[in-house]
């Protein structure tokens, strides 16, 4: 199971909810929000949680999504197998992720980002994977363009974060058929 820890301050509830909804529509998951656990799925592939109140995080396969500069829990250590997803336009979050020594998947509209938007319309998008990404299973995903259908309006960072999670979990083919 892959842990997805969404680090966003209380002002970013809309981001957390949108990303959690995309993931729960497309993955069997266990969710923990503000201390409440929803464990209806026995064969979950994702454990989705916010970073609120976490004192310690241990997971051999974890994705940390940094929307802003939410503090990392005290005593946090990377043990390998963790990857950060970060908005490249947020310098404070970029510095925070850099201090963790975790590999990072940058998301934004720059040619330097790992994931970017090649095109965006009301009901579809093309996501540009501009650098190789190594999935948790060891597979290497080469740069490519990935068309996706949108069933709801979503901001670019939410869309790119969801795409990064699909790719890191080895579900790139599922991404082009997903309900985003």
90 part of a folded domain: yes
Which residues are registered as beta bridge partners of 83? Answer: 63
Closest CA to 147 of 168, 170, 167, 117: 117
Does the structure show a pLDDT above 80 at 176? Answer: yes
What is the pLDDT at residue 158? 95
Q: Higher pLDDT residue, 179 or 42?
A: 179
Q: Looking at residues 92-109, what average pLDDT do you find?
A: 87
Q: What is the CATH number of the domain that holds 75?
A: 3.40.1190.10
140 part of a folded domain: yes
How far is it, in rounded angstroms, from Cα 179 to Cα 85? Answer: 21
What is the pLDDT at residue 78? 58
139-162: string of b/e by CB count within 10 Å (b at 16+)? eebeeeebebebeeebebbbbbbb
* Residue 141, domain extent: 2-175
Kindly report the pTM of this predicted structure: 0.91
What is the pLDDT at residue 31? 87
Q: Which two tokens stand for residue 97?
A: 């992720």
Q: Which two tokens stand for residue 157?
A: 């960072």
180 part of a folded domain: no
What is the pLDDT at residue 104? 94
The dihedral sign for the CA sequence 68, 100, 144, 169: negative
Half-sphere exposure of 116 (CA within 13 A, CB side): 13
- Total of domains in the chain: 1
Q: Looking at residues 172-178, what average pLDDT do you find?
A: 92
How far is it, in rounded angstroms, from Cα 63 to Cα 168? Answer: 8
20 part of a folded domain: yes
164, 107 Cβ separation under 8 angstroms? yes
Q: What digits encode the pLDDT tens for the residues 111-147?
A: 999 999 999 999 999 999 999 999 999 999 999 999 9
Q: What digits encode the pLDDT tens for the residues 47-88?
A: 888 877 666 667 788 898 987 666 665 555 556 788 999 999
How far is it, in rounded angstroms, from Cα 59 to Cα 126? Answer: 31
Q: What digits encode the pLDDT tens for the residues 2-25?
A: 989 888 776 677 888 899 999 999
């Amino acid at each position: 199971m892959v842990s997805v820890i969404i680090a966003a301050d209380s002002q970013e509830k809309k981001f957390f909810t949108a990303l959690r909804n995309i993931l729960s529509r497309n993955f069997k998951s266990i969710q923990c929000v503000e201390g409440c656990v929803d464990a209806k799925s026995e064969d979950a592939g994702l454990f989705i949680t916010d970073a609120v109140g976490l004192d310690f995080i241990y997971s051999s396969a974890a994705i940390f999504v940094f929307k802003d500069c939410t503090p990392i829990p005290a005593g946090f250590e990377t043990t390998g197998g963790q990857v950060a997803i970060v908005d490249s336009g947020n310098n404070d979050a970029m510095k925070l992720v850099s201090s963790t020594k975790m590999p990072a998947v940058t998301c934004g509209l720059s040619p330097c980002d790992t994931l970017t938007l090649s095109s965006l319309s009301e009901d579809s998008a093309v996501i540009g994977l501009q650098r190789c990404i190594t999935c948790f299973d060891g597979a290497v995903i080469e740069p490519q363009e990935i068309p996706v259908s949108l069933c709801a309006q979503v901001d670019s960072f939410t869309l790119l974060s969801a795409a990064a999670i699909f790719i890191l979990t080895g579900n790139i083919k599922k991404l082009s058929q997903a309900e985003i």
